[in-house]
Chain A
Amino acid sequence: YSFGTAMELGECTRNPGYQEADREADRAADITTTNGPEESRDSTGVCLDSDAVEYTQIKPFAGMPKEVLLLYSSQARYRVPREILFWLTVACTLALVALSITVIALSPRCLSWWQVSPVYQVYLRSFKDSDGDGVGDLQGLQEQLHHFQYLNIKSVWITPFYRSPMRDFGYDVEDFKAIDPLFGTMHNFEELLAEMHSKGLKLIMDFIPNHTSDKHRWFNLSRTRDEHYKDYYVWADCNATAPKPNNWVSVFGNSSWTYDEVRGQCYLHQFLKEQPDLNFRNPHVRKEMIDILHFWLGKGVDGFRMDAVKHLLEATHLRDEPQVDPNKPPDSVTSEWDLHHDYTTSQLGLHDLLREWRAEMDKFSREPGRYRFMVTESYDYHEVDKTMMYYGTTLVKESDFPFNFYLLDLPQNTSGLWVQHLVHLWMSNMPRGQWPNWVVGNHDKPRITSSAGRRYIHVINMLLLTLQGTATTYYGEEIGMENINVTQSQIQDPAGKYNASASRDPQRSPMQWSGDMNAGFNNKTNITWLPVHPDYSRVNVEAQKKEEGSLLAQYRFLNTLRQSELPLQRGWFCFVHADINVFSYLRELDGLDRAFLIVLNFGKESAVTDLSTVSELPDQLMVLMSTDRENDGKVLHKSRILTAAGEGLVIQYSTYTRFNPSHPMQCYVSEKACYLAAIDILYKC
């Protein structure tokens, strides 16, 4: 259409019925406004003007020009919908913005990476050997990153790989800013870190502030009384033959003082004599440590596991520690269990150090998606409140969590009540709003599969992955690796050389990847630094990947379930039942009708659990997953939940009544959030 033809069609079409006076005025006005430069338009205007006064009506038509359009467009039937539509659009836009802002304002803090995934501990010496020297290394680890992706694990803690004379396998550091050639080069490390980040994995490394190696440059300068370094370590007057400065004993046994001939004084070592304790009362030492933190944070490390923090400071007065048994002759006080460590652990000022480090890490956490995580290691045994101090306060943050070592006691007494007691110990003592975590094994403790018994490993993994909080998985726990037997002559662990029963070698055997040579740990040569467990042909990653219902498959299923189900991730945790055999709890989220009941049999015999008193549970319960594959999908009545010894059940059920409002004393949640199904969001409630 060109405008001209349109006008010709339209102009002067008569409609005698049209006589509205207002219209005429309008039209006249419009035509005046649109007095274009064209002749034809002028004449049209005139024509309309003169005719319209009496009788003209032009019918609207598709492609009508402005003059025709304006005759009709202001009619109520167009004007009203137009205005309604317009304001509707405006209102809609505003509503969308308002909705977004409301959702943002109500959103609870989202879970950080260390809360979403278990922390997997890699004992680097034993994980994967890439160069055939029999000792695991960084490149080997890099080759096996797919294992974490397979298991849906995001956080990997790697035991120390600093340059070290390996008196305590890396916990005696010679240079905090270098990689030990045994494990690779700095380039290998950077590649590993980049590769991990590009796979979405986070790298947590050890930070060992308490001591250095006696080969460290600082120690050599300190023992020669270099002006700057002379107070880097804790020195006390003594001589080679005379008694030690006090009765303090090292964690590995015997006096924690060793005479140094070069300096002619004794230095303190709470661990091996090759691990002199740093003097954290010296501001230079504190600064050096922060420099080291910066160095690794700058490289992009995602978190630190703070080693042996309770030993950081010692009382300056150097008084004798009280004996546990006052009647014991002082000469025979050689073990750490003989003394109350009032002057060598958890000293005043310790938490200030950690807070200072936390603040440094927070500086590096500002970049988006780069939260730096801190976990502390402190065995406080019956003094659980001392451990809880490491959570910091509501005002000053410290570690994200201190390792919860209490589940390590699980093998002492396998029963439902005992496990409930251990879980309750942490949950009831943890400060409000903090995040729990669970450890059943590490490089210092016997493997849980061996100490608790093979039949319980399935149910223990199920416990870890369905409890509230972050689970820690020591390498091999996902396939049920066991302690190895190490003969006296094979002992590698320096602590084991002092005392064979304290050897930590059994839990450090090479990772069992496959049924091949050296369990796939070292494909190149026939050496491994510790012997491979003889059961490797059966217990290995490759075999368990193929086997349905294997421990590995269950680990993977549960971990994936945990990350996809909000109740397991951040919902309520409620104790439901415990008896001699069975420990049972549930996980639920307000506003979500899907919840999980976990029934775990830690006892020595099969049990029938009656949960009919729990009115919030539906009568019929369907087993989502059992550690015994036979029972998957079974429907149970809540009064008769049958579990064999060492069997665990994850039961998914639907309900509209939540357990937690009526049982506040039995329920725990870190940060309360409610689910709104209509728009699939969480909100603070």
Chain B
Amino acid sequence: MAEDNMRNRKEPENGRFNHGMDSQITQEKPVKATMLQKDVGLVSGVSLIVGTMIGSGIFISPKAVLLYSGAVGPCLLVWTGCGVLSTLGALCYAELGTMITKSGGEYPYLLEAFGSIVAYLYSWTTVMVLKPSSFAIISLSFAEYASAPFYPGCTPPAVVIKCLSAAAIWLIVIVNCFSVKLANYVQNFFTAAKLFIILVIVGAGIVLLAKGNTETLSHAFEGSPPSVGAIGLAFYNGLWAYDGWNQLNFITEELKNPYRNLPLAILIGIPLVSACYVMVNIAYFTVMTTTELLLSPAVAMTFGDRVLYPLSWVVPVFVVFSTFGSANGSCFTAGRLTYVAGREGHMVKILSYISVKYCTPSPALIFNGILSVFYIIPADINTLINYFSFAQWVFYGLTTLALIVMRFTRKELHRPVKVPIVVAGLMVLMSCYLVLAPIIDKPDLEYLYCTIFIFSGLIFYYFFIYCKFSWASNFMRPITMHLQLLMEVVPPEKNE
């Protein structure tokens, strides 16, 4: 199909803004099935993992680990330990991902191992709260860091932060709706930026080490050893910095050669992140004492001012880049879960449709974007969302449990990657701890509300999925139809 032919048409139905896309299609291959393309290679996979895991935390407040572990030595050990644990967790996910090559993160595994209800509750919680709120929070921090340099000594006005984060959300959604490739380029670019600034910090740290700034590091193990409880809290906080190691499982279907690339990306990505975290921490310790690090409102900025001046402005700029990249990664994978849940009938069908022209799950992305924008409106969403975070570890635990369960129930499935079952057991135990630790530490009523919200999903499940009321589908059908026509989305074609 020649491009000029398209243009010659009286009424170019593709609209004005997508000639570029047309030409892209023509250039690559004349025929492209309306489905999510296998666009994500190894590099993009690694950059998705690294880009989502490394957010702003390591630059702004890598404090909690140090606070609980007490001294430099234990702190670095905890960072390393967290890296090992995340790698083990991710290896479990690699087994699951190569065994059940479906997108949607934990969802297909829970569906396979525990059935519809658990998977439904997972998708309900994640689609409605966890994913959009984390997208919202990352965008909010992006906006905060982007505007902070203009407001020295005080916090930027709420209107600036909210407008900028809403703009970021829309921009990212638009980019993701247009092209998976473009979204990947964005991801790769910002991950590269992120690694660059880490490289700068680590490089500066090495220079300073060579110069002999080892005062803080030489007393690494001074002081009383931290208690077991404190170590636990340090791990709890450290593991949050590593959250995001399951990102690639959300897009298994879009990976080129998932059997090779999924485990490989995990094995490259997570140790890379661990190495970055440990080295950045060492670099910080070359110019800051532990107290200074604990007190700094923005650790990397303090580092930048002390070491890189007069080029210290690069640090905030790249931290902004880094958060933007994380937001993009978060949006990219969040859309996939909504899409898969819709495909299985656990969300409205339209969410599983994909764009005819761009082969992106645009309804799912837009839905996620709209929810995220709603989440940035309330004054303080952070506190509420923090209470929901325990749910995240419930699902991680259930997923690794699913791995163990399926070793017995689904022996016949081919497992290109097979982790020792002990590892999965360890992950289950760790998840239990991470779920219970904060609740026991501070048993707030809010945890109960969150649980109630999660289980309230069952009401919808009962009415719309279990009973399948006909009036519901009668009601949805015209809406779906019109939305389809409006957004030009269709159910994905099967290509098997």
Q: Measuring CB to CB, which residues of chain A are less than 8 angstroms from any residue of chain B?
A: 1-3, 6, 22, 25-26, 29, 32-37, 60-66, 69-70, 72-75, 78-79, 81-83, 85-86, 89-90, 92-94, 96-97, 99-100, 103-104, 107, 110-113, 190, 194, 197-198, 300, 366-371, 679-682
Query: Shortest distance in angstroms between A569's beta carbon and chain B's nearest beta carbon?
Result: 11
Give complex CA distance A100, B159 in Å: 8
Q: Are the CB atoms of A103 and B159 closer together than 8 Å? A: yes
User: Any chain A CB within 8 A of the CB of B418?
Assistant: no
- A1 touches which one: B10, B147, B484, B491 (CB < 8 A)? B491
Residue from B13, B25, B295, B297 within 8 A of A79 (CB atoms): B13
CB of B209 within 8 Å of the partner chain = no
Q: Chain B interface residue count: which class? A: 35 or more
In the complex, chain B residues 191-230 whose Cβ is within 8 Å of any chain A Cβ: none
B174–A104 CB distance below 8 A: no
A2–B151 touching, CB < 8 Å: no
- A89 with B174: in contact, given A64-B490, A112-B153 (CB under 8 Å)? yes
Hey, which chain B residues are within 8 Å of A32, CB to CB?
1
- Across-interface contacts of A62 in B (CB, < 8 A): 349, 476-478, 480-481, 484
Chain B residues, Cβ within 8 Å of A82? 15, 486-488
Q: Which residues of B contact A83 (CB under 8 A)?
A: 15-16
Are B481 and A679 neighbours in the complex by a CB distance under 8 Å? no
B160 and A103 within 8 A (CB): yes
Chosen A-B contacts, 16 in total, with CB atoms closer than 8 Å, are: A32-B1, A36-B33, A63-B491, A64-B490, A73-B13, A73-B488, A74-B13, A85-B486, A100-B143, A107-B150, A107-B151, A110-B152, A366-B309, A367-B296, A367-B306, A368-B148
Of A2, A29, A78, the residue contacting B485 (CB under 8 A) is: A78
B344 within 8 A of A: no
Specify which chain A residues have a CB less than 8 angstroms from the CB of B156 in the assembled complex.
Answer: 104
* A66 touching B356, Cβ below 8 Å: yes
Count A-B contacts at CB 8 Å: 180
Check A100–B160 contact: CB distance below 8 A: yes
Q: Are A368 and B152 in contact (CB under 8 A)?
A: yes
Q: Does B381 belong to the interface (CB within 8 Å)?
A: no
Tell me the nearest residue of chain A to B166, going by C-beta.
A96
CB-based contact A64/B309 at 8 Å: no
Shortest beta-carbon distance, A249 to chain B, in Å?
43
What residues of chain B lie closer than 8 Å to A682, measured between beta carbons?
157
Q: 10 shortest A-B CB distances, which residue pairs?
A: A74-B13, A110-B154, A96-B167, A62-B480, A93-B170, A62-B477, A96-B163, A369-B297, A100-B163, A78-B485
B contact residues vs A (CB 8 Å cutoff)? 1, 5-6, 9-11, 13, 15-17, 25, 30-31, 33-34, 143, 147-148, 150-154, 156-160, 163-164, 166-167, 170-171, 174, 291-292, 294-298, 301-302, 305-306, 309, 312, 349, 356, 476-478, 480-482, 484-491, 493-494
Q: How far is the CB of A429 from chain B (nearest CB, A)?
A: 27
How far is the CB of B186 from the nearest CB of chain A, in Å? 15
Set B13, B152, B291, B294: member contacting A371, Cβ < 8 A? B152
Q: Which residues of chain B are within 8 angstroms of A86 by Cβ–Cβ distance? A: 15, 17
- B15 surroundings in chain A (CB, below 8 A): 79, 82-83, 86
Which among B174, B302, B305, B490 is the interface contact of A65 at CB below 8 angstroms? B490
Docked pose: A79 CA to B349 CA in angstroms = 22
Instruction: Note all chain A residues with C-beta closer than 8 A to B166.
Output: 96
Q: Which of B298, B302, B309, B480 contacts A63 (CB 8 A)?
A: B480
In contact, B164 and A96 (Cβ under 8 angstroms) = yes
CB distance from A371 to the nearest CB of B (A): 6
Nearest CB in chain B: distance from A209 CB, A? 26
A66→B34 contact, CB < 8 A: yes
Cβ-neighbour of B167 out of A34, A97, A197 (below 8 A): A97
Instruction: Supply 11 further A-B pairs (C-beta < 8 A) apart from A63-B484, A74-B11, A679-B157.
Output: A1-B349, A37-B33, A60-B485, A73-B488, A96-B170, A100-B159, A100-B167, A107-B151, A366-B312, A680-B157, A680-B159
**Contact A368–B157 (Cβ < 8 Å):** no
**Residue numbers in A under 8 Å from B163 (CB-CB):** 96-97, 99-100, 103
Tell me the complex Cα distance, A25–B13, Å.
12
